Amino acid sequence: MGPLSVRLLIQRGRPKSDRLGKIRSLDLSGLKLLSEHLDPKLLSRLKQLQELDLSNNQLETLPANLGLSHLRILRCANNQLGDVTALCQFPQLEELSLEGNPFLTVSDNLKVSFLLPKLRKVNGKDASSTCSQVENLNRELTSRVTAHWEKFMAALSPEEETEKAQADFVRSAVRDVRYGPESLSDFTQWRVRMISEELVASGGTQVHEADIPERPPKTRATREPRARPVALKRPSDIPLSLSPSKREHTSPLAQAEGSPVGSDGSQLEPLHFLQCHSKNNSPRDLETQLWACAFEPAWDEGHTGATSQTVATCGGEAVCVIDCQTGIVLHKYKSPGEEFFSVAWTALTVVTQAGHKKRWSVLAAAGLRGLVRLLHVRAGFCCGVIRAHKKAIATLCFSPTHETHLFTASYDKRIVLWDIGVPNHDYEFQASQLLTLDTTSIALRLCPVASCPDAYLLAGCEGGCCCWDVRLDQPQKRRVCEAEFIFPEGSEASGRRVDGLAFVNEDVVASKGSGLGTICLWSWSQTWLGRGSQSTVAVVVLARLQWSPTELAYFSLSTCPDEGLVLCGDEEGHVWIYDVRHILTQRPPLPVAPQAPTQILKWPQPQALGQTVTRTMVNMVVANRTFTYLTALTDSNIVAIWRRARP
C-alpha cells in the first residue's frame, strides 16, 4: 500500500461525504500501511473524526502531529508498535485497542493510562485499575524525586553552574530513584525524568500530586481486574494479563538454622507467601499442586546466564510470572483443562518487517496434555503451540548454547529435541523435530552437560541416571541411551529413581535419589574418562551431602553455580542449603561422612500464613544466579519468596 489519498479516505469514511471534514469514522485496517504512509497534512483535514481503525497494518510508530484532536476511539491492534508516547496527541480518547503488538510491555500500558486522562477502556476492558496503579506509582515517584532534589540541592556548592547542576540532577534522579518491580522500570524511569525536569523548570516548587491526570469519578470508584493493552492473538487460550498484586502473606516467622549463607555473612529473610495458582482465586484452595519454577535470565546484563528478579511458576491450569521484590504477579496465563508441570526460559532475536532487531523473552510451558506453549510474556500472548507428545510432558529445558533448541521429556518414554525457530512476521512459530531419544523409564530431570552441552544430555529418570549423545552432526535421528550411571552403595543404588539433577560447576554434578537421605556430588569428567566402551559406568563420587531420610520422592534439587550452592526442599517444609565451595576446591581424600547443610530454612507456622496447613512439603526451590532471591514451591499451593539480606 502506498501513501493515503483523499479518494481512499472518502471511500472508507463514514458517513458518506465528498468532504473530509464531515467524516466521523474511518476504517484503514488491513492495508499494510507503514508509519510513513500516515500523512499528517492529509489526516489533519479530518476535523470531525472521532473513530479511527488502523488495525492489521505494519505500523511501528504513530506520527506525533496527526491533528485529530477530537478522536475518541482508536484501534491499532496487530501492528508492530514499540512506543505509545505519541498517543498524548489524542486528549479526548476514551477507547483504545492495542492487542497483538508484541513489542509493547506492561510499562507501555501504564504510560497509556498516564497520557490519556479520559481513557475508559483498553482492549474492551475497564481501565480503572491500571489508572489506580498509575496514581499510586506517580505519587510515590513524585515523593522520592522531591526528596532526591532536596538532598541534591543541599549538597550543591554555591560556585557550581546552575544549568550544569540541573542537568546533573536529572541524570542522577533517573539513575538513583527506584521504585516498584523491575518489569515496570521503563515506566518509572520515564516518569522520574519527567518529574525531575518539572522540578528543575520550577525551581523545585511546582511538582505535586496534582500532576496525576484527573479521572472521572466512576473510574476512581471501579475496581475490576487490570487489563493490559496487549491481548491474545490466539482465541484458543486465555491471555496473560497484568494482575493485581497476589501478595497474600508476608511473614517474619520463617526461621533458619545453621550458618549464614555466603562469605559476606548474609542471611535469608522471608518476603512473600503467595497463592496465585488458586482455583477461582480462592484463598481456601490448598490442593493445587505447584510443580516447577524458573528465574528469567537477564539477557541485557552483559553475560549469558545472568538472572533477574522475575520468576515463573507453574501448577494447576496456570503459569504465573512474579516479581520477587514486590510480590506482584506480573502476568498470569491460564489454559483450562491443562495441568502445567514444567517451565523454561529462552531469549530470541526477531527481525521486524521493517528490518529492526528486537529481543524477546519467551517462556515455554508444558504439562498434562503433551503440548508446549510458547508464551511471549512481555507482550502478553501465546504465540505458538507445539504438539510435542501424545502423553504428558514431565519436564523441559532449553539448550544453554542454542536459544531455539528445546528438549522435552514425556511419559511416553521419549526425549525430543526441537528447534522452535524464530517467529515469522505474524509472530507464529514453526517448530521442527531434530532428535528423538528413547528412554527405558520416564525422564524426570534434564540437564545438558555443562562442559559440552552440544554433545551430551544427562537425564534423571525413574530407573536411574542416563546420558545421550545429542550431537547434530551424527546421522542417526533416533538414539538410545549412550551410558547409564551406577551409584555405589550408600548413595543411589543401581536402577533407583534419580529425581534431582544439576551441575554445580563445569564438572561437578549434584544428584538425588529417593529414600537414602543423601545428595551425591560426582565428577562428570572423571566418570566419563573411565567409561571406555561400557554401557554402564560407576560414577566417581566426590562427596555426599546429608539430606532428609524421607521415603517420599520428587523433591527437585537445584544449584547456584556462581555461589557454589546446592538447594533442596523436603517433606517437612524445610529448605536445605549447602555451600559446597570447599568441596569443589578440596583435593582428595575427601570426607567419607555426609556433609551437613550450611543452613536449613524452616517453613513458618501455619497460623502465620492464615491457613489451616497441617504439613507443607517443598517440592522445588530455585535461586537466581546472584542468590539475591530464592523461590520455593509447596504441595499446599503456596509460593514462598526469600531475599538475601546482606549485613
Q: Tell me the torsion sign for CA atoms 206, 208, 212, 215.
A: negative
* The three three-digit cell numbers of residue 212, written as one number: 496525576
Q: Judge if pTM exceeds 0.85.
A: no
Give me the residues paired with residue 438 across strands: 414
Task: Kindly give, in sequence order, each residue whose CB lies less than 8 Å from that of residue 83, ignoring residues fewer than 6 positions away.
Answer: 61, 108
Half-sphere exposure of 313 (CA within 13 A, CB side): 34
**In the predicted model, what is the mean pLDDT of residues 225-233?**
29
The three-state secondary structure class of 441 is coil
pLDDT > 80? residue 616: no
**Residue-by-residue DSSP string for 57-90:** S--S---S----TT--EEE--SS-----GGGGG-
pLDDT > 70? residue 274: yes
* The three three-digit cell numbers of residue 623, written as one number: 535461586
Question: Residue 111 and residue 114: Cα distance in Å, rounded?
Answer: 5
Question: Residue 314 and residue 579: Cα distance in Å, rounded?
Answer: 28
Q: How many residues does the chain have?
A: 647
Half-sphere exposure of 113 (CA within 13 A, CB side): 32
pLDDT > 70? residue 324: yes
Average pLDDT, the chain: 82
Q: How many CB atoms neighbour CB 9 within 10 A?
A: 18
Question: Residue 208 and residue 28: Cα distance in Å, rounded?
Answer: 41
Which segment of 27-36, 110-119, 322-331, 485-494 scores lowest on mean pLDDT? 485-494
The position carrying cell 540532577 is 169
How would residue 231 be classed by pLDDT, with cut points 50, 70 and 90? very low
**In the predicted model, what is the mean pLDDT of residues 138-166?**
82
Contact indicator for 321, 343 with CB cutoff of 8 Å: no
pLDDT > 70? residue 424: yes
- Chain segment 102-149, per-residue pLDDT in tens: 788 888 888 999 999 899 999 888 888 788 888 888 888 998 999 898
Report pLDDT for 473: 94
In angstroms, what is the C-alpha Rg of the chain? 28
How would residue 200 be classed by pLDDT, with cut points 50, 70 and 90? confident
- 535-546 core/surface letters (b: 16 or more CB in 10 A; e: else): eebebebbbbbe
Q: Tell me the torsion sign for CA atoms 284, 286, 289, 290.
A: positive
- Chain segment 465-475, per-residue pLDDT in tens: 999 999 999 99
Q: What separation in angstroms does the CA of 277 have from each of 281, 294, 316, 329, 635?
A: 7, 16, 7, 10, 12
Q: What separation in angstroms does the CA of 460 have from each of 140, 468, 495, 511?
A: 48, 12, 11, 8
Report pLDDT for 287: 81
Question: Residue 597 and residue 392: Cα distance in Å, rounded?
Answer: 35
- Chain segment 522-533, per-residue pLDDT in tens: 999 999 998 888
pLDDT > 50? residue 224: no
Report pLDDT for 209: 44
pLDDT > 80? residue 205: no
- Chain segment 331-344, per-residue pLDDT in tens: 889 998 899 999 99
3-state secondary structure 523-591: EHHHHHHCCCCCCEEECEEEEEEECCCCCCCCCECEEEHHHCEEEEECCCCCEEEEECHHHHHCCCCCC
Contact indicator for 384, 365 with CB cutoff of 8 Å: no
Report pLDDT for 440: 93
**In the predicted model, what is the mean pLDDT of residues 531-540?**
88
Q: In what order do the strands lie in the sheet with 432-438?
A: 393-398, 405-410, 414-419, 432-438, 478-479
Report pLDDT for 514: 55
Report pLDDT for 125: 84
Contact indicator for 286, 614 with CB cutoff of 8 Å: no
Which segment of 36-50, 53-67, 480-494 scores lowest on mean pLDDT? 480-494
DSSP 240: P
How would residue 575 be classed by pLDDT, with cut points 50, 70 and 90? very high
Report pLDDT for 220: 35
How would residue 604 be classed by pLDDT, with cut points 50, 70 and 90? low
How would residue 257 be classed by pLDDT, with cut points 50, 70 and 90? low
